[in-house]
Structure 1
Amino acid sequence: MIIAIDGPAGAGKSTVAKRVSEILGFMFIDTGAIYRAITYSLIKDGIDLNNKQLLKNHLHRLDLEYTNQHIYFQGSIIDDEIREETISSKTSDYSKNPIIRSFATDFQRKLAENNNVVMEGRDIGTVVFPKAEFKFFLTANYEIRGRRRYQELKQSDKDASLEETIEAIRIRDNNDSNRELAPLKRAADAVEIDTSQIGIDQVIDTIIRYVRTED
């Protein structure tokens, strides 16, 4: 069974998807971490995205694993490295590349083979698994999402201003929604949940009840 949870940055996708997977005993797949890991490998190896053949060769031999919610690159866990600002600032642009996106989509589909999966991202219900049994689209006002992201940054002792963080969310929304390849949008058959004024526990309960009722 595939449960797809899509939505913009700061809507609570990762937290919700992880908790839902734990409750149901499903595998949790963080697709954002996968794109970050691919970006990390490309930057580390100095790959020029304009050199299509070099890029394809790199991805073909890429030693990348996703196991027990950890990302491994060449046998080493890189969970912390892929969260560094140098990687975060590049991932959105790198993920627009059609060669990278095709590789990541195939990678995600292989991870889900023969597994019950909760997968979160921006195009899971529309591109990666358009026939997923359950689809949810989490959203919230961009200012609220910006405030959530700001609190996350503060807790991680990272320098950021509230205004800049909110503006970054607004720009990310625009870029994700208007990109030519796999834009962020709600699947026609997805259940939309606005998380602006409700807590994470209520969102999780809504999804769990829906899955158990419809299953």
Structure 2
Amino acid sequence: MDKAIIAIDGYASTGKSTLSKMLSSHLGLPYIDSGAFFRGITFLALEKGWINNENIYQEAIELGIKDIKIYYNTSDNKLILNEIDITDKIRSKLVSSNVSKIAKLPFVRFFILKQQRLMGNSFGMVMDGRDIGTVVFPNADFKFFFTARPEVRAQRRWEEMKANGYFLSYEEVLKSLMNRDKVDTERKFSPLKKANDAIEIDTSDLSLEEAFTILISKINYK
């Protein structure tokens, strides 16, 4: 199991990141949050002025990321950009509202894909994201796809944001979530979709413990 690659894809706020961390701890495998890489590039683009209001300066981004060093420290789940820990900075509202715009750029996806596969060639892992089982690791040992009703996911995200000091209305969160779903599923390159051989788990009416029990049972069964 130490070399196993477990791909976990799905919609936002389905619990996939929390469950991925629980699974990695249970199996003794590193956890990689693939979305953190896209957030890291988005954070950098905002800092450098490569995103300005609705303008995205693609040429500047494409040239700029060639000289950066970005990696995931698996020992403490930290995202490191040019040797600086940016883990907390990538969770801001501004980054969240722009990450889909960056994630759909083909050259950004290709850049991050190389980083992800390099890690996959070195060690086993639990990685969650949007296209892990379809694009990043199509031959992963285990594939899962998490879903939940939009209203349930919006409630979860709203409560999480409120706990972290971000005060938006539930309606605003739901609208943002639906927009994110649209961008993720309709983008030309690496859209969010279930791999044909992935096991689907709907977490709408499940506690984390219940969802984790199902997850483990599928791995033990296989």
Given residue 93 of structure 1, which amino acid in structure 2 is its aligned partner? K
Which residue of structure 2 aligns with residue 5 of structure 1? Answer: 8
Q: CA deviation at 1:40?
A: 1.3
Given residue 101 of structure 1, which amino acid in structure 2 is its aligned partner? R
d(CA) in 2 for partners of 1:25, 1:130:
22
d(CA) in 1 for partners of 2:174, 2:93:
17
Q: Counterparts of 1:157-176 in structure 2 under 5 Å?
A: 157-176=165-184
Residue 117 (structure 1) aligned to one of 122, 125, 140: 125
Q: Counterparts of 1:17-36 in structure 2 under 5 Å?
A: 17-36=20-39
Q: Counterparts of 1:166-205 in structure 2 under 5 Å?
A: 166-205=174-213
Q: CA deviation at 1:43?
A: 2.2
d(CA) in 1 for partners of 2:218, 2:20:
14
Residue 138 (structure 1) aligned to one of 128, 143, 146: 146
When normalised by structure 1's length, the TM-score is 0.94
2:60 is aligned with 1:57: no
Identity in percent: 38
SS at match of 1:18: helix
SS at match of 1:119: strand
Q: CA deviation at 1:51?
A: 4.7
Residue 81 (structure 1) aligned to one of 89, 92, 98: 89
5+ residue gaps, structure 1, are: none
2:103 is aligned with 1:100: no
Give the root-mean-square deviation of aligned CA atoms: 1.4
d(CA) in 2 for partners of 1:85, 1:199:
26
Q: CA deviation at 1:60?
A: 1.8
When normalised by structure 2's length, the TM-score is 0.91
Count residues with an aligned counterpart: 213
